[in-house]
Amino acid sequence: MTTNGKMRFGILGCGVIGPHHARAISGLDDAEVVAVADVVPEQARELAEEYECSWHTSLEDMLARTDLEAVCVCTPSGMHADDAAAVLEAGKHVVIEKPVDVTLEAVDRLRDVQRATGGKVAVVSQHRFDPATLAVHEAVTSGDFGRLTSGSAEVRWWRSQSYYDSGGWRGTWAMDGGGVLINQAIHSIDLLQWLMGPAVEVTAYTGLLAHERIEVEDTAVAVLKFEGGALGAIVATTAAFPGLTARIAVHGDRGSAIIDDDELKYFHAAGEGQEGDVYGAGGGDNQAEEVMERYGVAGSGPGAGADPGSLSMSHRDQIQDFIEAVREDREPSINIEEGRKPLAIIAGIYESARIGKAVRIEK
Ligand SMILES: NC(=O)c1ccc[n+]([C@@H]2O[C@H](COP(=O)([O-])OP(=O)(O)OC[C@H]3O[C@@H](n4cnc5c(N)ncnc54)[C@H](O)[C@@H]3O)[C@@H](O)[C@H]2O)c1
């Protein structure tokens, strides 16, 4: 922390998501962007001009700044663990864009570096901070939905062929780590497991159905078993033209919720003494509005995942949590362990699709 009390951030990778980190940080009272870096000089210079900070063409150069306290790693996914390890070894803290990296082995190596250095690591999963997600999480953890019975995540988006053609790393196993599951649906998979509890087993199919020149899936379906006994389903695609919503549903024997594009669309928790009808269908009394009013949000904007333009706001709360974690010397809410969980499910899905059998999800 500097004399003005602001945490001084650097941003590594000034492509699509790097500028969102810059915007999120500059929207916080106690943080500022002091440096950016990208191997493409124009990318770095352009972002530096906007935030009136220094720019560099390598992480190494940027880390030489002694006043830097934390770095946001916004490079292609397969570089995250190595980049984050270099930041930690330079004695700084790190915010890593999702996924932590593309393999569990890389994540575990990073965890060793984190333990050795003692730096703080936050892994971005910004939708855990959405009011709708927080409301449903509170309901399930306080038992308002009773015993959880099923949950689902559906990501029905569209990415054009030009999207996959636009960046050399997209759609590659080495740098993207997979397709729609690890790049797009990881947010919804993370929310599903955060709300439903740990997933223990998965059976899945994947397909490449509407794109070419990529190594990975653009469509996947999976069925899951959760530790508590509940069952789950994932449908994820970037091949649903023209692109629809991302939806999470959670059901228990005393309540249900549906979040669609980050908005709480349906919520019902049985009150004291409320008995269900013999036959229930159609949802009944939707309590979503009153639940969101408790969170001071009457309806929220369009889905951030569907519209990358609205991402910065969602990142702000997570970066605020990271800053507080550094100041209070506690773990960030989403640390390496938490960031590893959706990745372990995704690794299980790829393995199940490859061998055609159910697989246990690695802890
Ligand atoms: N949280 C979210 O909602 C969200 C949204 C988009 C992307 N992401 C994640 O952010 C990461 C980056 O995605 P993107 O869409 O911004 O990609 P991008 O290709 O647009 O940007 C990556 C940038 O990293 C730079 N780069 C590559 N190698 C570098 C190096 N060695 N040193 C410095 N800079 C280097 C590239 O020049 C490029 O500008 C990915 O891991 C992706 O999964 C997260």
Using one digit for the tens of pLDDT, what is the confidence trace for 278-289? 677 777 789 999
Q: Sorting pLDDT into bands at 50, 70 and 90, what band is 272?
A: confident
Separation of 16 CA from ligand 1 center, angstroms? 6
Please give the model's pTM, rounded to 2 decimal places.
0.95
Residue-wise pLDDT for 313-341, tens only, equals: 779 999 999 999 999 999 999 999 999 99
Percentage of residues in the chain having pLDDT higher than 70: 93
75 lines ligand 1 (CB under 6 A): yes
Residue 56 backbone dihedrals phi, psi, to 5 degrees: -140, 165
Q: Which residue has the tokens 């927080």?
A: 134
Residue-wise pLDDT for 305-319, tens only, equals: 444 445 667 799 999
| Alpha carbon nearest to ligand 1 atom 33, residue | 38
Q: Which amino acid is at 226?
A: F
Q: Which of 20, 21, 39, 47 to mutate to test the pocket of ligand 1 (most atoms within 8 A of CB)?
A: 39
Separation of 15 CA from ligand 1 center, angstroms? 5
Q: Which amino acid is at 52?
A: E
CB 36 within 8 A of CB 44: yes
Query: In order of start, what are the domains of the chain with their CATH numbers?
Result: 7-127+311-335 (3.40.50.720), 129-304+344-355 (3.30.360.10)
Separation of 86 CA from ligand 1 center, angstroms? 17
Residue-wise pLDDT for 12-25, tens only, equals: 999 999 999 999 99
CB 48 within 8 A of CB 36: yes
Separation of 12 CA from ligand 1 center, angstroms? 8
95 lines ligand 1 (CB under 6 A): no
Question: Given a cut of 50, is residue 186 above it in pLDDT?
Answer: yes
246 lines ligand 1 (CB under 6 A): no
Alpha-carbon torsion angle 186, 188, 194, 198, nearest 10: -60
* CB atoms inside a 10 Å sphere around CB 276: 10
303 lines ligand 1 (CB under 6 A): no
- For 260, counting Cβ atoms within 10 Å of its Cβ (0-12 exposed, 13-18 middle, 19+ buried), the class is middle
175 lines ligand 1 (CB under 6 A): no
Q: Which of 74, 77, 101, 165 to mutate to test the pocket of ligand 1 (most atoms within 8 A of CB)?
A: 74
122 lines ligand 1 (CB under 6 A): no
Tokens (6 digits) for 241 = 């033209």
Q: Which of 11, 12, 14, 17 to mutate to test the pocket of ligand 1 (most atoms within 8 A of CB)?
A: 17
| Coil/strand/helix, residue 43 | helix
Residue 269 backbone dihedrals phi, psi, to 5 degrees: -125, 130
Residue-wise pLDDT for 116-137, tens only, equals: 999 999 999 999 999 999 999 9
pLDDT at 309: 47
